[in-house]
Amino acid sequence: MDTQFFEHIESEVRTYSRSFPTIFDRAQGAKLWTTDGTEYIDFLAGAGTLNYGHNNPNLKGKLLEYIERDGIVHGLDFWTDAKQDFYRTLEQLILEPRGLDYKIQLPGPTGTNAVEAAIRLARKVTGRHNILSFTNGFHGVTMGALATTGNAKFRNNLGVPAVGAQFMPYDGYMGEGVDTLDYIEKALDDGSSGLDHPAAVIVEVVQGEGGINTASDAWLKRLYDICKQRDILFIADDIQAGCGRTGKFFSFEHAGIKPDMVTNSKSLSGYGLPFAMLMMRRDLDIWQPGQYNGTFRGHNLAMVTAAEALRQYWSDDKFEREVQRKGEIVRERFAQMAEMLNQAGHNASERGRGLMRGLDVDNGDLADRITHGAFERGLVIETSGQAGEVVKCLCPLTITDEELNAGLDMLEASVREVVGS
């Protein structure tokens, strides 16, 4: 396989192709095939972009129909039939049943666009500049979003200072038994803490890139109350944890809170098409016409598949119960693998929610050895966390039990190899 051609032509900035140096060609559901026909099970799924699997047949059918009838593909921010269908379906199946009265902004095709829009709107609404974000948080790599992203790898390459945000300790950052919100609450109320009163906090309920760190419901609820009491907007970044990944459509549903703004992208189109949205409390929508624009605001093909994905999977609670059930399978198997690693003198543990699961092996090299071994056995799986120390399962939510167990078996075989048993 001529992978050297890619090395010749493609920038050194590439990442995932380094972990999986082969040439992929086709994909269906939870499976990928290379140009020479080698089959892989996909536990990466576009970093949580393919919750409904690759080339989901139901969504593909709607997409082909729409293309065949010359449905509008690009329309700037025109009102289109596809957009109407998406908005109506979203309102009926997702927002209304959850008591959420949001307006929608389609800011541009990627997650970081939605984060930029959220931050900018929060500043405009409050007249304040500071955004509180959290240790290990990841919110994208454009300038405003990057300022709220913790990882120095990204921050150090901006070329100008990353300004406009201050970092607070996420739930669990100080270890067991410390409620990091004690510090945050105190700093907010102390005129000498050095904290500029923030416009908003931006938080992931489960930190995807940061290592599958999971905020407890109690912590989130308390953070939410702290914000409410102090006129600070609460932005939930549900770009990776949304669309059912944690076992509910929105990750914050578990905590019973209603964020002021929500960002969504990755699996929103359901088909891997670029699509992002910002949802905002109705009264926060003080944008003037055209104040935030972009050529690709709402990709109609993505809206066609997004609407169909909502109809297919979110008309009742069957799908979310399935995600929770499969999540338990992964949890149990990760706990067993952690135990194997610990028996061999490592320091491993499992964590996560729904089908957003991590096996923390406390060592980036060890995690790499495990994922490389898994790839040799036919499993695509990545690491996350500050040192890449967390093996991360983001398999399609639609994965069959058979494929899920086969993938977990490959991962376990790799863990066994690493511990020499």
Ligand X SMILES: *Cc1c(COP(=O)(O)O)cnc(C)c1O
> Which residues contact ligand X by CB under 6 A?
110-112, 115, 138-140, 204, 208-209, 237, 239-240, 265-266
Give the residue ranges of DSSP H helices in 127-193: 143-147, 152-155, 180-189
Identify the CA nearest to 151 among candidates 164, 131, 133: 133
Q: In the complex with ligand X, which residue's Cβ is closer, 276 or 410?
A: 276
Min separation Cβ 266 and ligand X, Å = 6
Q: List Cα–Cα distances, 412 to 83, 234, 393, 399, in angstroms.
A: 44, 39, 13, 18
> With b meaning 16 or more CB within 10 Å and e meaning fewer, what string describes 34-48?
eeeeeebbbbbbbbb
Identify the CA nearest to 230 among candidates 206, 282, 195: 195
Min separation Cβ 213 and ligand X, Å = 12
Min separation Cβ 109 and ligand X, Å = 8
Residue 1 has, within 13 A of its CA and on its CB side, a CA count of: 14
Q: In the complex with ligand X, which residue's Cβ is closer, 110 or 213?
A: 110
Min separation Cβ 25 and ligand X, Å = 24
Q: In the complex with ligand X, which residue's Cβ is closer, 279 or 418?
A: 279
Contact between 392 and 383 under an 8 Å Cβ cutoff? The reply is yes
**For the packed helices 318-343 and 401-419, what is the interaxial angle rounded to 10 degrees?**
10
Min separation Cβ 141 and ligand X, Å = 7
Min separation Cβ 110 and ligand X, Å = 4
Rounded-to-10 torsion of CA 334, 335, 340, 344: 110
Give me the residues paired with residue 357 across strands. 352, 393
Q: In the complex with ligand X, which residue's Cβ is closer, 112 or 398?
A: 112
Q: In the complex with ligand X, which residue's Cβ is closer, 138 or 224?
A: 138
Closest-approach residue to ligand X (CB):
111
Q: In the complex with ligand X, which residue's Cβ is closer, 149 or 414?
A: 149
